Amino acid sequence: SLVLVDEFGKGTFAFDGCALLGCMITSMDNLGRRCPRAIFSTHFHELFVERIIAETDIVKFYRMSILENKHPEGKKKFEEDIVFLYKIEEGVCLHSYGINCARRLGLSAEVLSRAEVILQHLSEGSAVQPVDNSSQAMKARQIRMFDLFSKSQTDIAAVKELKETILENP
C-alpha cells in the first residue's frame, strides 16, 4: 500500500494539527514491517524542532532542495533570494519561504512589507500593531487591493468600474 498525505492539518490550529500528524506518523512507525509506504508533506516545523518524531529504520526525512543567495549582514531571513531546485534531498527544512513565494507571484510591496513586519513580530514573540481602520485608510486599502497582483493581472473594465464605485461612495 501507498499513503500520500499533502499538507496534513490544513485548517487546523497549529498545535492540534502538529500533535495529530506526529501521533499518526509514530503509530505507523510502530507497525514495523506492516507499515505501508507513506509520503507526508507538512509545514509543521515543530515536529522536527521539538523532536516529536524521529528518524527510524522506517521513518526518513526528505526536503526539497533550494539554493539560498544570502544578502549582506543585517538582512532578515525572509529577505533572502531562493531558487527552488526541484530536487529531493535527505534532511528537514526548518524555514518557511512563503513571503519569498508571494513576492515571486507578484503581490504588492505594501502587502509584502506588512507581512514582513508581522512575521518579525511573531518570530520575536512581540505584539503586532493593528492597521489604521479609519474610513480613509480603509478606502485606500480597498483601492490598492485591485493592485495586489499587479504584475500578473490586467485591469479589466469591471475592475475599473468597481474602483470608481468605491471612490464615489465614501
Strands 2-6 and 37-41: parallel
Question: DSSP secondary-structure letter at 43?
Answer: -
Express each pLDDT in 28-70 by its tens digit.
999 998 999 999 988 888 888 888 888 998 999 999 898 877 6
Report in angstroms the alpha-carbon separations of 97 from 14, 100, 128, 157: 17, 5, 20, 34
Express each pLDDT in 90-141 by its tens digit.
999 888 888 888 888 888 888 888 898 888 888 888 888 877 666 665 556 5
| pTM of the predicted model as reported, rounded to 2 decimal places | 0.62
